[in-house]
Amino acid sequence: MSARHELCQVFRIYWSLLLGNIVEWYEFAVYGYLAPHLEKHFFSGSSLGVWLGFSVTFLARPLGGIILGWIGDKYGRSMSINISIIGMLLGTCGQGLLPTLDCGTPWLGNLGLVLLICLRFIQGISAAGEVGTISSYLAEVASPSTLSRCSSLINSTASVGFLSAQFMCFLMETLFGKRGVEDWAWRVPFILAIIPGGIAVVGRRGIPESSMFLEAQKTNEEAAHATIFDKLEQAFRFWPNMLITFGAVSTYAVLQYGCLVWVQTFLATHGASKDHQMVVGLITRCLQIVLGLPVGWLSDIVGVGWMMTISAGLTMISGLPLWCVVASHPANLLATSLAFGLGFGLLGTLTGSILFHFIVEMFPTEVRNTSIGLAYNVGFAIFGGLAPFEATLLYKAHWTGPGFLYMFAGLGGLAVSLAARRLHATGALDIPYIRKAPFFGPIWPSTAKMDAETSSEFTDDSDNNACAV
């Protein structure tokens, strides 16, 4: 089966997985883009407070990764993703219905803040299970020759979610004006998540389990009866792999939230118009949407390990100078379009498009969901959830501070990928678990034998249902 045919089959059968992924990232991004309004309505004008509220979701992610990861490994990926999408919708839509400090009654404003924190906690638990299960699902149904390309769809659809959130906030301000958004229209983007989310809930009801998961359940009877503590014990047997996964998240997480979301707020408070913000955001996200599959193709050719090394190294080298351009000319459309839109957009594309393939290779099928759920989400909580708060503090200390944050995030990812390279070469790290080559093999290896290693979920019987090409 051709790569194009297989990718079309992924969209046809698993579209609700990808739609749910869009909704997940939309929900996270809406809070970031509306941070100035939430700061006023819930946090008494504290910019640090609003970003601490943002980080609550990420602090909840490790717990969600463990619980929903265990459900995915024991009862099936399908059950886990259905629970997660419902929890995300509850957490997001609820945020648009809360009382605020403007209600006139202090206790109502305080209640609204408490409920906001609770809903974001629920959102974090749900989102943690979503990303781990989708990563496992797509990796287990893809053929080896297109594994990176299928996994790249996670980052591409995440960018659709971010872009949708930014467009919705832009539309609210265009329709109702800045005053209208400040007064009440900030609620609308949260509430409207029910529409795509509801469609995703209905679509996920018929998604089949992956044959790789079903086979693992048959051959390992203990897995079917494992408690959450049993599964954690099994996962921690792969503690070196978990450490690699934890560190591998650093570059992507910091770029995603400490840069691509936080910088939009920075531009809004430093003279950039809403049209200016929309243009640079459009460039950044469209790059990730359009270039995701080509980057995935390159990873399928040269190996995901090498691509991790390259993307982290480029982030380390260019993070600081790109930020200096943005910080020096925040109201200049050309400067921010080149440095933020193109520069950081390309870095986000390189790191995000191959991360999810890299981490699913770290674990065997029977503990993949739980292990990713824990290691990825702990890393994302620390590196991503706190990144906007850290960027704010560093900028207050010195205007170049956020640039050093991006530089060291790249350095962290580079160190982890090189460590994985060394451990893989010496046999100390038993990876990869799905596609044996290319990983850290010779540049431009032959991929002719990949399909023989692992079979795809899709067979020639599905040719009649292929997308038109």
**pLDDT value, residue 308:** 92
Q: Tokens 């579209």 identify what position?
A: 15
User: Does the structure show a pLDDT above 80 at 437?
Assistant: no
121-177 pLDDT per residue, tens: 998 898 888 888 888 888 888 778 888 898 999 999 999 998 899 889 889 988 999
Quickly count: other Cβ atoms within 10 Å of residue 378's Cβ: 21
41-83 pLDDT per residue, tens: 999 888 888 888 888 888 888 898 889 888 888 888 888 888 9
**pLDDT value, residue 384:** 86
Structure-token pair, residue 224:
């079917």
Look at phi and psi of residue 76 and say left if phi exceeds 0, alpha if psi is from -120 to 50, else beta: left
272-282 pLDDT per residue, tens: 888 898 899 89
Higher-pLDDT residue of 378 and 129 is 378
Q: Tokens 């996994």 identify what position?
A: 151
Closest CA to 162 of 349, 313, 310: 349
Q: How confident is the model at residue 459 (pLDDT cuts 50, 70, 90)?
A: very low
CA pair distance 143, 465, nearest whole angstrom: 18
Task: Tell me the residue ranges of DSSP E strands in 341-459.
Answer: none
Task: Specify the pTM.
Answer: 0.84
Give the DSSP H or E segment for 106: helix 106-141
Structure-token pair, residue 33:
């883009």
Cβ contact 133:80 at 8 Å: yes
Lowest-pLDDT range, 219-223, 229-233, 283-287? 219-223
Higher-pLDDT residue of 228 and 339 is 339
